[in-house]
Structure 1
Amino acid sequence: MYQLHLFDTPNAMNTALATAITANLQDAINLRSKASLAVSGGPTPVELFQILSQAQIAWNQVYITLVDERWVDKHHEDSNERLIHTHLLQNKAKDAHFISLKTIAENPYDGVDEIQTRLQQSLPLPIDALVLGMGDDGHTASLFPHAENLYKGIDMQSDRLVIDMKPLTAPHDRISLTLPVILNSRHLYLQLNGKKQQQVLEQALAGKNINDMPIRAVLHQQKLPLQIYLAQ
């Protein structure tokens, strides 16, 4: 269950997506005096973060976390947390509350329970707006094709908020939000950029095997409308 929004340029896409997310957060603040946002890393959302950081909302009532994180130091160039601090938690958004998906544990398997507790205690749930990305291999969040722990991450009966993950197709061990948390969010977005990602999307829509392309678990579900923002 999805709706596809097409844009001629990345800037047009990011501006529209930022406007939608800002409205979601403002609605949540109006209703509950707090709002939650989960975002993905990588190069695609950088401009989105920069636009969002200028939004005129009460950022001190907004709680931000990541959809997934690589198990690296927060100053490492591959750290999503570093990306968030550099591009999103700036300007007006510097007053938002950030909830890290990283601990001092040596690996995500030893840190996952601490992060589960941290999110339960600090993150307003359900998440008001959640932005996914997608890899060329069809992964989303850190739910990777044929990973050993994938079945736990996509189990809709699970009460886990986060799961540890060892990708077969990417470097670094990971921590990831689980599919139940993703599909329980109030507003769900998939942000895509360029012809290559459009082709991967078409491939994912054409098949059913989730182990081959975990993004299919989001595309083919009937629980929550997925808003796909694609710059062609």
Structure 2
Amino acid sequence: MELIEYVDSDIMMVDVANRIAGELEQALFHEDSITLAVPGGTTPGPIFDSLCAADLPWDRVNVVLTDERWVPEDSDRSNTRLIRERLFTGRASAATLLPLYQQADAPEEKLNALAEGIAPHLPLSVCLLGMGDDMHTASIFPEADRLNDALFGDGILYPMRAPGAPEPRITLSAKVLQGALSCHVVIIGEKKRAALEKAISLPPEEAPIAAVLADAVVHWAEV
């Protein structure tokens, strides 16, 4: 694991966006199309605001969420809605979204169809992840109902229900995240820094972020 510390999160977000843009550009030298995986939530928004302006052939870039809440896209809790508003603008509007949601009562009903849409675009070229205070990443939560499957299974996607998560989720598996050619984890604040340091010495069943740390670059700012 490589850890990069920043003076503040504004500088960090611009730097991470520039690094990802550079890695995408390098990957496009070798592949006709590539895949970028990104998280939802509020933290990566500023990264998307910078990344969307990168001068890249975005029509050769596929974008997939690392995880999604099982809610319609017009919901305020939809990660898909977030990246459409913050990433799929400007130059990046030419990218292709690989969906993690289709209309259905439960993720299990659409799991196979969604996985089939992602499979041809693996491995991930670049993966951006966050981490919760509980050391979860994507929607791989400690104490979740499909935790072991998501950590150790061979599938692309897994449905996930966890204490404290108000709706079902769907998540890329640890196997897919680990297969990324480049992985970045972005965290802010002393609490998450402490959680990161704790996760390093824990098994992934207790700290799911530990499943991806070995080859990741972790970016941290105190504020």
TM-score range, shorter chain: over 0.9
Offset of residue 210 of structure 1: 2.4
Q: Give the distance between the partners of 1:204 and 1:28, measured in 2 at CA.
A: 30
Structural mapping, 1:31-46, within 5 Å? 31-46=30-45
RMSD: 1.2
Q: Give the distance between the partners of 2:82 and 2:167, measured in 1 at CA.
A: 16
Question: Would you say the 8 A contact 1:144–1:169 is kept in 2?
Answer: no
SS of the residue aligned with 1:130? strand
Q: Which residue in the other structure is 1:84 paired with?
A: 83
Which aligned segments of 4 or more residues in structure 1 are displaced greater than 6 angstroms? Answer: none
Offset of residue 213 of structure 1: 1.9
Amino acid at match of 1:12: I
- Unaligned segments of structure 1, at least 5 residues: none
Question: Aligned pair count?
Answer: 222
| Percent sequence identity over aligned pairs | 32
Amino acid at match of 2:194: Q
Question: Would you say the 8 A contact 1:147–1:166 is kept in 2?
Answer: yes
**TM-score of the two chains, using structure 2 as the length reference:** 0.96
Q: Which residue in the other structure is 2:104 paired with?
A: 105
Q: Which residue in the other structure is 1:95 paired with?
A: 94
Question: Would you say the 8 A contact 2:151–2:204 is kept in 1?
Answer: no
- Unaligned segments of structure 2, at least 5 residues: none
Q: Which residue in the other structure is 1:50 paired with?
A: 49
Offset of residue 15 of structure 1: 1.2
Q: Does 1:226 align with 2:216?
A: yes
Offset of residue 211 of structure 1: 2.4
**TM-score of the two chains, using structure 1 as the length reference:** 0.92
Question: Would you say the 8 A contact 1:55–1:92 is kept in 2?
Answer: yes
Structural mapping, 1:108-127, within 5 Å? 108-121=107-120, 124-127=121-124
Q: Give the distance between the partners of 1:59 and 1:46, measured in 2 at CA.
A: 18
Q: Which residue in the other structure is 1:63 paired with?
A: 62
Q: Give the distance between the partners of 1:58 and 1:209, measured in 2 at CA.
A: 40
Q: Give the distance between the partners of 2:29 and 2:211, measured in 1 at CA.
A: 32
Q: Does 1:174 align with 2:169?
A: yes
Q: Give the distance between the partners of 1:36 and 1:118, measured in 2 at CA.
A: 12
